[in-house]
Amino acid sequence: RSRRTAPRRRRTRSHCRSGEMFPRRLQASVRKFGTTSSSPLSWQPTGKPQQTLASGVEKSGVGLHSGASTTVRLLPAMAGEGRYFSPGPGRPRIPATVDHVVESPLCTTLRRGAARVLTVEHLLSALEASGVDNARLEIDGGDEVPILDGSAREWVEAIEEAGLCAAKDHNGNEIAKLATLIHEPMYVWRDDSFVAAFPQRKTKITYGISFPQVPAIGCRWFSCFPMDDLVYAEEIGPSRTFCIYEEVDL
């Protein structure tokens, strides 16, 4: 699990009382939409083709957890292949999907068989926000994506350098990009953490953190419309990972 400090510019910011990590407005939303259907979500065409990188680009750095120096290459991929890691010769590709996420402390790890890739969250966030639907991600020197400056900013810049183009399948055809349409509330939780999704015409993200033991952080909420131009690149991507002293392995 990765946490990020909020950048200076914010769209919506609010504070909450200690322990109030499920705001009253979300509780009201659950009651308002609290129905059950046979299909809580569906996929609909966006009217746009899937995209991939127009050229390759690479970044090198040190892994936050492993300390290993690694190089990651972002390469074009065929339409329909999605985003996936290619750890090396003789090792299976690892699709960057929730089906391959395994539990790991303070980072997101993907695993397939004996192959794994650690700390993928900033890179995958940048690819999704930049509209890269298909990408081959090669990693050399270790099994952890470098932390760089602790944010997704350098990945966004690398993607901008590579450029985007319509992805083609093996027959040279474009494939339509689909978007998720949510029909009823969905939520998962563990201990005091939760993720909830509600029906809405325009994508809006609200994120909250609560660290009552750290007065400088406390309990905060941040909301934005990530699909608006430059919102991710200027407000979310530069947000940097942080940790508290008790979590440091000395």
Domain locations in the chain? Answer: 12-40+183-247, 47-176
pLDDT value at residue 23: 52
pLDDT value at residue 105: 86
3-state secondary structure 177-229: EEEEEECCCEEEEECCEEEEECCCCCCCEEEEEEECCCCCCEEEEEEECCCCC
Mean pLDDT per 10-residue segment, the chain (250 residues):
45 49 51 57 93 98 94 98 89 94 93 95 96 97 95 97 98 96 92 91 91 89 85 91 75
pLDDT value at residue 37: 52
* Fold of domain 47-176: Ribosomal Protein S5; domain 2 (3.30.230)
pLDDT value at residue 38: 65
pLDDT value at residue 27: 52
pLDDT value at residue 39: 80
Determine how β-strand 135-140 pairs with β-strand 83-86. parallel
Give this prediction's pTM.
Answer: 0.83
List alpha helices for 59-210, DSSP H. 121-129, 153-162
pLDDT value at residue 5: 45
d(CA 39, CA 193): 25
139 and 145 Cβ atoms separated by less than 8 Å: yes
